[in-house]
Amino acid sequence: MTPLLRAELLKLRTTRTFVAVVGVTLALSLLVVVLTALLSDEFSARDARDLFSADFTGLFIMLLGVIGMAGEWRHRTITGTILAAPDRLRLMAAKMLAYAAAGVVLSLIVTVMIMLVGTIILSSRDFETAAFSDLIDVLWRNLLVAALVGALGVGIGALVRNQVVAIIGVLILGFVIEPALFGLAPDVAKYGPTAGAPAGIQDIDFFGGDGETDALSPGVATLVMLGWIALFFAAAGVRLRSRDLV
């Protein structure tokens, strides 16, 4: 597994996609944090904590995984990849681990940067800022979510294969279906892979109103995300193993 993982990490580092995704994610996350911190009239320590949790990073990391796996079909490199690594399930597992690691790196960069910039702006406006222990708490939750959605993105890409369809599908899920479910069926929405379950891990109050979170506990939410990953791994694995590469 180690050589395969090394190879997949090398693949990630040797195209411009990863750098571009890091750049776009960082820019968008910073924009949201800067505008929110500058334009808000009041800000509690809890608001600051939530600000550093609820950014676009998860969705972009999922897209990175989708692009990395579905790109093997788009660029027709899947044949060469499988010739080099004939065990297709090990290959997919290595890719999932690589994109989980890439997600952690991307999330670490983005989270640290938005925490730094956001805290500076909030301090300069004499607002309450999140305690250091809270920032560490947000950081590990963000990194865990990043690892899980990175792996899930690979599973989605392996199952769908068509890169454009997979990307559009993830965007519709993340921006249309899950947000709609939050209003229509919150008990279903909290199990969703792009926002619901990640919100449980990140302790984000998506269901508030009365201030009490209705999200899954971090442990259950992590298990739900692992379930999504296992589901896509199994479905994509069956498809990948049974299909001829002609």
Partner 1 sequence: MAPVEVRDLSKRFGSVLAVNNLSFDIEAGRVTGFLGPNGAGKSTTLRALLGLVRPTAGTATFGGLRYEELDRPSTKVGAVLEDASFHPGRTARNHLRVLAATGEHPFERVDTVLADVGLAEAANRRVGGYSMGMRQRLGIAAALLGDPEILILDEPTNGLDPPGIVWMRDLVRAQAARGRAVLISSHLLAEVAQSVDDVVVVSRGELRGHGTLQSVLGGDEGLVTAVRAQDNERLTRALEAAGHRVQPFRDGLLVPGVSPEEVGVVAGDAGVYLVALAPQTRSLEQAFLALTGEGTML
Q: Percentage helix, strand, coil, to 5, in the chain?
A: 80, 0, 20
CB of 58 to partner 1, least distance (A): 25
3 versus 23: smaller Cβ distance to partner 1: 3
**Six-digit token string for 100:** 């989980």
136 versus 245: smaller Cβ distance to partner 1: 245
16 versus 211: smaller Cβ distance to partner 1: 16
Distances (CA, A) of 63 to 82, 106, 133, 213, 236: 22, 12, 30, 28, 17
8 versus 178: smaller Cβ distance to partner 1: 8
CB of 65 to partner 1, least distance (A): 16
CB of 4 to partner 1, least distance (A): 6
149 and 62 Cβ atoms separated by less than 8 Å: yes
86 versus 211: smaller Cβ distance to partner 1: 86
152 and 193 Cβ atoms separated by less than 8 Å: yes
CB of 2 to partner 1, least distance (A): 9
Which residues of this chain interact with partner 1, rule CB under 8 A? Answer: 3-4, 6-7, 10-11, 14-17, 71, 75-77, 79-80, 82-87, 244-246
CB of 13 to partner 1, least distance (A): 9
Instruction: Give the integer Cα–Cα distance in Å for 195 and 175.
Output: 9
**Six-digit token string for 49:** 């904590």
Give how far the C-alpha of residue 140 lies from the chain's centroid of Cα atoms, to the nearest Å.
13
